[in-house]
Amino acid sequence: MLIIPAIDIKDGKCVRLTRGDFSQEKIYLDNPRDMAIIWRKQNAKMLHIVDLDAALTGEMVNFEKIREIVEELDIPVQVGGGIRTADAVKRYLDIGVGRVVIGSAAVTDPNLVAEVLKSYRPSQIVVGIDAENGIPKIKGWTESSGMKDFELALRMKEMGVERIVYTDISKDGMLQGIGYESTRKFAEKARMKVTASGGVTNVGDLVKLDSLKHLGVDSVIIGKAFYECNFPCQKLWYNYEPGICIDHDFSTARKRNKPGNDD
């Protein structure tokens, strides 16, 4: 299972929220690029970045911050948050982003998904479904979509979408365990490639998710558990390089800021 560290950007800083609540924000680093360097030195194979400001406003507020990360790293970067136009998709892909995650627009403007799939491969266009009690929420998790999570997935599947990033909002940032049952039920009904997200707390959660591979759950995004050092970080990676966790001396990371060819 592919493990993908998450970087959420708000006001230009690397932060984590609790259940998507903007009033429960914790800042980890002032520069998200520095955080990306740390995860790459941990031998991460991919990064997941969310522009939280864009999720609320629909404006690409942190575009330049994301560009810096993409230019710095030698691994694929997946970006979501406020991507609601074909131009936004193009701008991200043009700077080298590997995948864009369309969330709210999949509900409010599904034709956008159909439109961009005419120009880009399904591997470049994925849909994010952030659900609470099985109901997708949109616009920074501030509004309900009024449909079931699997219903939205099946609509996207008909358009040619192959992968869903699925988040159980009730678990996100809580460090109380992955939403295993919600993810399982969703994957059973959607029958698509699924990247799980929200609530991963320890290795036990990864073992549980691994049992869902036959349903298409092949990857997982991890946020707060990494930032709070709930894992012996380097041991998660194949051929890992001993060195840095977020609570270690950050100056070490800055001195070795260029990722090597350690895949």
Q: Residue 239's domain is classified under what CATH number?
A: 3.20.20.70
pLDDT higher than 90, residue 122: yes
Cα 254 to Cα 34, 53, 123, 195, 259: the distances in Å are: 7, 26, 32, 30, 11
Report the pLDDT value the prediction gives residue 248, as an integer from 0 to 100. Answer: 37
74 vs 57: which has the higher pLDDT: 74
**Which residues lie closer than 8 Å to 9 by C-beta, 6 or more apart?**
15, 32, 49, 50, 51, 52, 53, 62, 65, 66, 81
Mapped onto helix, strand or coil, the DSSP state of residue 100 is: strand
Q: Is residue 259 part of a domain?
A: no
Distance CA 210, CA 204 (A): 10
Q: Is residue 257 part of a domain?
A: no
Predicted confidence band of residue 47 (pLDDT cuts 50, 70, 90): very high
Share of the chain above pLDDT 70, in %: 82
Predicted confidence band of residue 229 (pLDDT cuts 50, 70, 90): confident
Distance CA 40, CA 63 (A): 20
Q: Is residue 258 part of a domain?
A: no
Phi-psi region of 225 (alpha: psi -120 to 50; beta: other; left: phi over 0): alpha
Q: Is residue 223 part of a domain?
A: yes
Report the pLDDT value the prediction gives residue 29, as an integer from 0 to 100. Answer: 87
Q: Which residue range is the domain that position 107 belongs to? A: 2-252
pLDDT higher than 70, residue 257: no
Q: Is residue 260 part of a domain?
A: no
252 vs 118: which has the higher pLDDT: 118
Q: Which residues does residue 132 pair with via DSSP β-bridges, in sequence order?
A: 135
Predicted confidence band of residue 243 (pLDDT cuts 50, 70, 90): very low
How confident is the prediction for the chain on average, in pLDDT?
84
| Average confidence (pLDDT) over 226-255 | 49
Structure token digits, residue 5: 């560290």
Predicted confidence band of residue 138 (pLDDT cuts 50, 70, 90): confident
Predicted confidence band of residue 43 (pLDDT cuts 50, 70, 90): confident
Q: What's the number of domains the chain is made of?
A: 1
Q: Contact at 8 Å (CB) between 46 and 97? A: no
Predicted confidence band of residue 250 (pLDDT cuts 50, 70, 90): very low
What positions carry a catalytic annotation? 8, 130
Q: Is residue 159 part of a domain?
A: yes
142-194 pLDDT, tens digit each: 677 789 999 999 999 999 999 999 998 877 655 667 889 999 999 999 999 99
Q: Is residue 80 part of a domain?
A: yes
Query: Which residue type is seen at 235?
Result: K
**Which residues lie closer than 8 Å to 44 by C-beta, 6 or more apart?**
3, 4, 5, 75, 237
Report the pLDDT value the prediction gives residue 173, as an integer from 0 to 100. Answer: 59
Q: How many CA atoms lie within 13 A of 50 on its CB side?
A: 25
Q: Which of 112-126, 128-142, 201-215, 228-242 has the highest mean pLDDT?
A: 112-126
66-100 pLDDT, tens digit each: 999 999 999 999 999 989 999 999 999 999 999 99
Q: Is residue 131 part of a domain?
A: yes
Helix (H) or strand (E) holding 101, with range, is: strand 99-102
